[in-house]
Amino acid sequence: MLEISLIEKIIDYGVSKGADFVEIFVEDRFDTRITLIDGRIDSASSERDFGLGLRLFKDDQQVYAYTNDPTEKQLLTMLDRLIEVLQIKSAEPKTVNLMNLDVKNSHTIILNPLEVSKMEKAKIMKLAYEGAKNYSDLISQVVVRYWDYDQKVFIANSEGTMANDRRIKTRLMVTAVASKDGEQESGFYGPGASMGLEFFNFHDPKDIGTEAARIADKMVKADYAPAGKMPVVIANEFGGVIFHEACGHALEATSVAKGASVFANKLGQKVAADCVTAVDDGTIPNAWGSSNIDDEGIPTQRNVLIENGVLKSYLVDRFHAKKMNTKPNGCGRRESYKYIPTSRMSNTFIMPGKYLPEEIISATDYGLYAKRMGGGSVHPATGEFNFAVMEAYLIEKGRIVKPVRGATLIGKGIDVINNIDMVGNDLARGQGMCGSISGSIPADVGQPTIRVKELIVGGRKR
């Protein structure tokens, strides 16, 4: 993407001026987004992003600049400004030898989305529409969104690493609206993968539409969820968003290094119930949150975060590794060249336990069954989280008795992982976008069915 001689010149110049670390990140990316509403393709757009970011460390300070003008003049001007900000007093001339990192591709692409016509993509969307629209008479509207991208990244740094990666992702998202007696409710389902169009050989677009419609249809007929503290059984797949938000973010070095996490200084300590083992794994072939290397040029890896309730590892990026006097572990991620990378999750999930999901429900006298979770958020420093539940049911005397809507779950992360008392054997993963200081990135969440002894359910008293 850039001449190697220019990259070497920039890095040599940066270290010669006294920076401890110099990094160049170059990105070239194509996005396709298509929206179908009411059975017709309503809009379609194509996007090409190209830009470059320059990052420097000096002691424990970090500075960044980006541009989409990749000329030598622009890069040297940016570098000079960053050096000035760092107020480096004196430095020696230095030369860095760049070596290509041998990056093995673990995410085979069969049908590159850029080589498939948009007409084919539109056909897939229409199948999803049919799946949703034909589900029931209550479905009043269906919105189908198709998204693919092809992101090429190049990273070079003053440690001598040069690496390339290419991330191709495909996702289909369906929102179905159900209307009944003047009220409306929506359902959403949106699987995706690090795959090309062969993704739809594994996921029937019609089924994706049906699933969104099933949720909307069920919820528009539902009463409001009860309010107050109660046991909550959270289903597998996207249910894993609870660990992602409640604990995963607080295990990122971004919070831990500042002591702004409830998990800071707790490595090796018991932080969760014995039945909880949780992993972040950026290497899973073709998973939505996977990549061969992270956005700092480090190969991704499987990091065991919590093992049988004991805190084993944090997620550590380069800058915070320096602050924490430890090594980065392949989780430095960013949305694009417009963001400074930081420690982020990739594919995060709780490992399976011994119970059948039915056993967990039948062991619950009264509580909420959260079948499909919506999104959530957390404040890592206080551990306070919240989640929307998209599809829920009331459990009474060990049986699911009726659907309920409008539930939100709130609590504190460390309480949740201590209060998990049953873990099912049905591990599955779901896909979402994770937002944080380095932007919005694809991430898988996952878990088997679990039970949390007590959570505050935000519903309504009737």
Partner 1 sequence: MKEKQFAEMVFVLAKKQGFDDCEVLVSNHREFEVVVSKGKIENYTDASSKRVTLKAVKDKRSSFATTEILDETSARFLVESAYENFMITDTLDEDDIWAERPAKEPFEYEDAFERLSVREKIDLAKTMEEKCLSYDKRIQNVIMSGYGHQRSEIWLFNTKGLELSESFGYGAAFVYLVASDGKKPKRGFRAMYGSHPNEVNVEKVALEASSEAISQLGAQSVKSGKYKVLLRRDVFAQLFFAFSSIFSAEAVQKGLSPLKGKLHQKIAVESLNLIEDPFFEKLPIKRSFDNEGVPTVRKSFIDHGVLTTFFHSIKSARKDNVKPTGNVFSQRCVPLNVILPEGSLGYEDLIKSVGEGLLVIAFDGLHSGVRPVSGEFSLGANGYRIAGGRIVEPVEQFTVSGNFLDVLQKIELIGSDCEIVSANWFGPSVVVSELDVAGS
Nearest CA to 82 among 60, 63, 98?
Answer: 63
For 426, the 3-state DSSP assignment is coil
Instruction: Assess 353 for contact with partner 1 (CB under 8 A).
Output: no
Count of residues of this chain found to bind partner 1 when the rule CB under 8 A is applied: 83
- Shortest gap between Cβ of 123 and partner 1 (angstroms)? 9
Instruction: Assess 460 for contact with partner 1 (CB under 8 A).
Output: yes
**Cα-atom radius of gyration of the chain, to the nearest Å?**
24
Percent helix, strand, coil in the chain, to 5, is 25, 45, 35
Hey, which residues between 272 and 301 contact partner 1 (CB under 8 A)?
none
**Residue 85 or 356: which CB sits closer to partner 1?**
85
Candidate list 7, 11, 24, 82; residue touching partner 1; CB under 8 A: 82
**Residue 165 or 185: which CB sits closer to partner 1?**
185
- Shortest gap between Cβ of 304 and partner 1 (angstroms)? 27
* Binding string, residues 106-145; x marks residues near partner 1 by CB under 8 A: -----------xxx-xx-----------------xx-x--
Candidate list 2, 111, 260, 310; residue touching partner 1; CB under 8 A: 260
Looking at 4-117, list the stretches that DSSP marks H as alpha helix, in order from N- to C-terminal side.
Answer: 4-16, 72-86
- Shortest gap between Cβ of 355 and partner 1 (angstroms)? 28
Candidate list 137, 377, 399, 402; residue touching partner 1; CB under 8 A: 377
Candidate list 45, 90, 95, 325; residue touching partner 1; CB under 8 A: 45
Which two three-digit tokens encode residue 79? 């570098």
**Residue 415 or 426: which CB sits closer to partner 1?**
415
Which helix (H) or strand (E) segment holds residue 396: the answer is strand 384-396
**Residue 374 or 398: which CB sits closer to partner 1?**
374
Interface segment toward partner 1; rule CB under 8 A; list 163-171, 299-307, 343-351, 399-407: 399-407
- Taking the CA atoms of 242, 248, 254 and 255 in sequence, report the sign of the dihedral they define: positive
Candidate list 179, 301, 362, 418; residue touching partner 1; CB under 8 A: 179
**Residue 141 or 164: which CB sits closer to partner 1?**
141
**Residue 37 or 98: which CB sits closer to partner 1?**
37
- Taking the CA atoms of 155, 161, 164 and 169 in sequence, report the sign of the dihedral they define: negative
- Shortest gap between Cβ of 102 and partner 1 (angstroms)? 30
Spatial neighbors of 379 by CB under 8 A, at least 6 apart, are: 385
The Cα-based distances of 312 to 159, 174, 262, 267, 283 in angstroms read 27, 38, 15, 6, 19
* Binding string, residues 220-239; x marks residues near partner 1 by CB under 8 A: ----x--xxx----------
Nearest CA to 36 among 108, 132, 103, 112?
Answer: 132
- Shortest gap between Cβ of 432 and partner 1 (angstroms)? 10
Interface segment toward partner 1; rule CB under 8 A; list 37-45, 94-102, 266-274, 284-292: 37-45
Which two three-digit tokens encode residue 430? 């779901």
**Residue 107 or 371: which CB sits closer to partner 1?**
371
User: How many angstroms separate the CA atoms of 416 and 394, rounded?
Assistant: 20
Question: Is there a contact between 332 and 341 (Cβ–Cβ < 8 Å)?
Answer: yes
* Binding string, residues 46-75; x marks residues near partner 1 by CB under 8 A: xxxxxx-------xxxxxxxxxx-------
Which class for 457: exposed (0-12), middle (13-18), buried (19 or more C-beta within 10 A)? buried
Give me the count of residues in the chain. Answer: 462
Question: Where do we find the tokens 């400074």?
Answer: 340
